């Protein structure tokens, strides 16, 4: 059966800026991330890199590999090093799939593109 084959990777990662060191986050590590999320037509649906009034941008902090974010993020972040910035394109299967995320402005079966920077690993 096909279960012996490794699962097809459902994201594409292009390094925009190299990070430092060689430590990638492991499952359960706490990561801090800046990101911008876009639909295929370039519409930004989420972003935490902009100043909110006088407040500086705040990174998103979560435990990686634990399903707190879409699978494409979990899988990709565990291949990144501190400071690395990537363009991440995620197929629907590892994003929001057939349901999409109506509240987040993401239609069903959407391929999503993110600019993601791994700020810190704890």
Catalytic residue (choose from 11, 29, 35, 90): 35
Q: Find the catalytic residue in 11, 29, 62, 114.
A: 114
Local structure of residue 3 (DSSP, 8 states): G
Q: Which three-class secondary structure state does DSSP give residue 54?
A: coil
- Pick the catalytic residue: 62, 70, 90, 121? 70
Q: Give catalytic status of residue 62 as yes or no.
A: no
- Return the SS3 of 6: coil
> Out of 11, 62, 90, 96, which one is annotated catalytic?
96
With b for 16 or more beta-carbon neighbours within 10 A and e for fewer, the 20-41 pattern comes to eeeebbeeebebbbbbbbbeee
Q: Which of 12, 46, 47, 120 is catalytic?
A: 46
Q: Is 114 a catalytic residue?
A: yes
Catalytic residue among 12, 34, 45, 120: 45
Among this protein's residues, is 11 annotated catalytic?
Answer: no
Q: Which residues are catalytic?
A: 35, 45-46, 70, 96, 114
């Amino acid at each position: 059966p096909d279960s012996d084959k490794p699962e097809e990777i459902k994201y594409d990662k292009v390094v925009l800026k190299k990070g430092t060191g060689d430590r990638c986050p492991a499952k359960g590590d706490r990561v801090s991330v800046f990101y911008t999320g876009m639909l295929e037509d370039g519409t930004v649906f989420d972003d935490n890199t902009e100043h909110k009034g006088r407040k500086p941008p705040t990174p998103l902090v979560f435990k990686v590999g634990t399903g707190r974010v879409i699978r494409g993020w979990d899988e990709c972040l565990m291949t990144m090093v501190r400071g690395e910035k990537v363009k991440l394109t995620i197929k629907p299967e590892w994003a929001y799939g057939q349901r999409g995320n109506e509240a987040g402005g993401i239609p069903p079966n959407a391929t999503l593109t993110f600019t993601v920077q791994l700020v810190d690993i704890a």
